[in-house]
């Protein structure tokens, strides 16, 4: 898994590629926590290049979702492949996480 970050106004987009699983989820958590620790509470996770995500990734998303919302922000998802979207659906995450087709849409949703 690789990540890169760019800032778009007050929103941080975290671009993720590869697999978010038991080996890599901790690294992703560190990226999210680093951004939140730096005062960035509106985050977009760009899943356009994520080929699969396991429960370890779901735990990171949930922890970050709770953390950002407790600070008045949010974590929103952009561009997950249908296979990854199915995992989100099977896990009940589509009811608690806002998901957009593109990063631009997700960033714009913060208004």
Partner 1 sequence: MHDEDRLPIPPGAHGAARPDGRCARRDAPARRPMSTSRRIVRPARIEHLPELVEFAAQGVRESGADAQALHDIRLAVSEVCANIVEHGYAGEPRGSIAIETTATAGRLVVRIEDDAPVFDPAVVPLPDTESDAEHRQPGHLGWHLVYRVMDEVRHEPRGDRGNVVILAKRIGPASAPAPGTG
Q: Interface with partner 1 by CB under 8 A: which residues?
A: 19, 21-23, 51-56, 58-59, 62-63, 65-66, 69, 81-84, 86-87, 90-92, 95-97
Q: Which CB, 28 or 53, lies closer to partner 1?
A: 53
Count of CB atoms situated within 10 Å of the CB of 110 = 16
Look up tokens 């697999």; give the residue: 19
Cα–Cα distance between 11 and 27 in angstroms, integer? 20
CB of 88 to partner 1, least distance (A): 11
CB of 6 to partner 1, least distance (A): 26
Q: Which CB, 5 or 62, lies closer to partner 1?
A: 62
Half-sphere exposure at residue 17, Cβ-oriented, CA atoms within 13 angstroms: 5
């Amino acid at each position: 898994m690789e990540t890169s970050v760019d800032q778009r106004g007050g929103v941080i987009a975290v671009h993720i590629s590869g697999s978010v699983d038991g080996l890599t989820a901790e690294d992703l958590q560190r990226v999210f926590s680093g951004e939140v620790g730096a005062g960035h509470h509106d985050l977009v996770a760009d899943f356009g290049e994520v080929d699969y995500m396991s429960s370890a990734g779901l735990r990171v998303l949930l922890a970050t979702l709770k953390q950002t919302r407790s600070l008045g922000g949010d974590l929103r998802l952009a561009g997950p492949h249908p296979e990854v979207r199915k995992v989100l659906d099977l896990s009940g995450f589509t009811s608690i996480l806002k998901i957009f087709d593109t990063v631009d849409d997700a960033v714009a949703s913060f208004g």
